[in-house]
Amino acid sequence: MKRPQWMVALGALLVALATGCAKVQKGTSLNGQGLTADASTPVAHVYGTIDGLYLLGFVPLITGDPDTGGVALFSDTVTVDEAAGLVTGESNSLKATRTVDLQSSTSGLWLAPTVVLWYKSVEASGNAVKP
């Protein structure tokens, strides 16, 4: 039994609308716990993520814009460099002087029903501290 073409098109549209975002979150409820072994004052734990939709896995179509938090078209922003910049930028805005324990992760998923589209995501997190 064949799926109607409109169902495949609708699915692709929903995927496209759900992708292409960049966001940063911070956790400041640290319950008096330190985030480093030295005497640094913890400010927050910062987490950032950027995702996007790619043609054939390497041509960016719709991605998150880490500068605005909105959508970027045809710009490859789903990178570790951009995610690290998102986290350290938020750390700076919190008046922290260092971001320690910066870690990142990337993932990708082939969207099989569309045949040619891939969803990619990168995330980074770190601890914002000051002396």
Rounded average pLDDT per 10-residue block, the chain, 131 residues: 65 63 88 82 94 93 91 94 96 94 94 88 95 85
How far is Cα 71 from Cα 46, in angstroms, rounded to an integer?
21
In whole angstroms, give the CA distance from residue 57 to residue 38.
Answer: 42
pTM of the model: 0.82
Counted residue by residue, the chain has a size of 131
